Amino acid sequence: MANVKAYAAPSATEPLGPHSIERRTPGAHDVAIEILYCGVCHSDIHQARNEWGGSVFPMVPGHEIVGRVTAVGDHVKNFKAGDLAGVGCLVDSCRHCSQCEAGEEQYCENGFVGTYNSIDKSGQPTYGGYSTHIVVDEQFTLKVSDKLDLKAVAPLLCAGITTYSPLRHWKVGPGQQVAVVGLGGLGHMAVKLAAAMGAEVTVISTSDNKETDAKRLGASHFVNSRKEESMQAVAGKFDFILNTVSAPNSYDRYMQLVRTNGAMVLVGAPPEPSAITGFNLIMRRKTLAGSLIGGIRETQEMLDFCAEHNIVSDVEIIPISKINEAYERVLKSDVKYRFVIDMASLKN
């Protein structure tokens, strides 16, 4: 066991602050990683504030982890000390159900073990990436290219895979009209990835000041969702809409923009429900669906795709002492487009 520095939320109503946690001694299949950068996902805020219910405290959030391997267990085949490595939202699963066998561990029928706010197979709480070190089974550790800017790779481990997976599952590609609702951490990755897959991308945003960025990131069109006439102008236009909005929003309004046989997929996870009118789906055989992060195989595929296409996140680097301010700015949609913690700030 090693005692390491971390930042934790002591409860749902207190700010995050310095904390220390134990990391297990690496077992035969484990990879020990010194964390260099960790992204800040809106899910960290939902969970640290117990907005989804069932949070375990003290909580060390963080599931967009990149770092350097410091040691590996005797049976580890694919990593050695000195390698770069990534850890996303999953650190274990049952490994034998049909979903695990299909490489879709996020849908494990027996429940996956999350990187934080979860209980592992030994009954211990898991602690995430707002810390200096982590120990993870090789099967749940990702290979990271040294060709990309490492601090901008961190958000790929959640924002990247969460948007890549539905784009692939719904076979988004050339000739398709794709809309991304919400230009935040997930949204800006969705724009880059959908454009790289060959789709024509529209950003639908509540923030008029993001239009220039949307186009720089790869969108061809921008719609201000607060302007009814702009929304009407794109009614029935889209084959596929990815909804990344973190707060309750009108699914009916966005569903009207989907064409016959098209789909809107939710990745944004507001705590409160939103209504949907059945007729809005029935009349044009539309699909409303959801999608959860992505499995380890597909996460590696996404990282390799990003390395090949030179895709990383647009990041704002912060010291860990600024984490509570960063949360407030995320809540105001004031981040371009992902905060990433420089973990050197926790080591000093």
Burial of residue 268 (number of CB atoms within 10 Å: 0-12, 13-18, 19+) = buried
Minimum CB distance to ligand NAP smaller for 97 or for 247: 247
Select from 81, 60, 84 the least CA-distant residue to 72. 81
For 332, which DSSP code? Answer: T
Peptide bond into 319 cis (omega under 30): no
Q: Which of 56, 94, 231, 292 binds ligand NAP (CB under 6 A)?
A: 292
Q: Is 43 in the site for Zn ion (CB under 5 A)?
A: yes
Answer yes or no: are the C-beta atoms of 187 and 180 closer than 8 Å.
yes
Q: Taking CB under 6 A as the rule, does residue 168 contact ligand NAP?
A: no
Query: Under rule CB under 5 A, which residues in 101-140 are in contact with Zn ion?
Result: 108, 110
Stretch that binds ligand NAP, among 35-43, 53-61, 123-131, 140-148 (CB under 6 A): 35-43
Q: Which does 302 bind (CB under 5 to 8 A by kind): ligand NAP, Zn ion, none?
A: none
E strands, the chain, are 2-8, 17-23, 30-39, 65-72, 84-87, 90-92, 113-114, 133-137, 142-143, 177-181, 200-205, 221-224, 238-243, 258-266, 287-290, 315-318, 338-342
- Which string of DSSP letters, residue by residue, matches 224-274? ETT-HHHHHTTTT-EEEEEE--SS---HHHHHTTEEEEEEEEE----SS--
245 binds ligand NAP (CB under 6 A): yes
Among the listed residues 16, 31, 41, 154, the single contact to ligand NAP using CB under 6 A? 41
For residue 244, the minimal CB distance to Zn ion (Å) is 11
Restricting to residues 66-105, which ones interact with ligand NAP according to CB under 6 A?
none
Could you tell which of Zn ion, ligand NAP, none binds residue 38, using a CB distance below 5 to 8 A set by kind?
none
Among all chains, which residue has been given the structure tokens 């690496």?
A: 26
Taking the least distance from each CB to Zn ion, the nearer of 37 and 238 is: 37
Q: How far apart are CA 24 and CA 2, in angstroms?
A: 7
> Under the criterion CB under 6 A, does residue 129 sit at the interface with ligand NAP?
no
Q: Which two tokens stand for residue 129?
A: 């990436």
Kindly tell me which residue out of 8, 293, 302, 306 binds ligand NAP, with binding defined by CB under 6 A: 293
Q: Is 16 helix (H, G, I), strand (E, B) or coil?
A: coil
Residue 93 binding result from Zn ion, ligand NAP, none, given CB thresholds of 5 to 8 Å by partner type: Zn ion
If binding is defined by CB under 6 A, does position 244 make contact with ligand NAP? yes
Does 206 bind ligand NAP (CB under 6 A)? Our answer is: yes
Which residue number, 71 or 288, has a Cβ lying nearer to ligand NAP?
288
| Dist CA 210 CA 225 (whole Å) | 12
Site for Zn ion in 59-98 (CB under 5 A): 93-94, 97
Instruction: Choose the one of Zn ion, ligand NAP, none that binds residue 267, judging by a C-beta under 5 to 8 angstroms depending on kind.
Output: ligand NAP
Tell me the C-alpha distance between 348 and 344, whole Å.
7
217 forms part of the interface with ligand NAP (CB under 6 A): no
Token digits of residue 62: 């963080």
Q: Which stretch binds ligand NAP (CB under 6 A): 17-25, 68-76, 167-175, 265-273?
A: 265-273
* Cα separations in angstroms, 9 against 47, 60, 179: 10, 7, 35
- State the residues that interact with ligand NAP by CB under 6 A: 41-43, 46, 158, 162, 182-187, 205-207, 210, 244-247, 249, 267-270, 291-293, 330, 333, 335
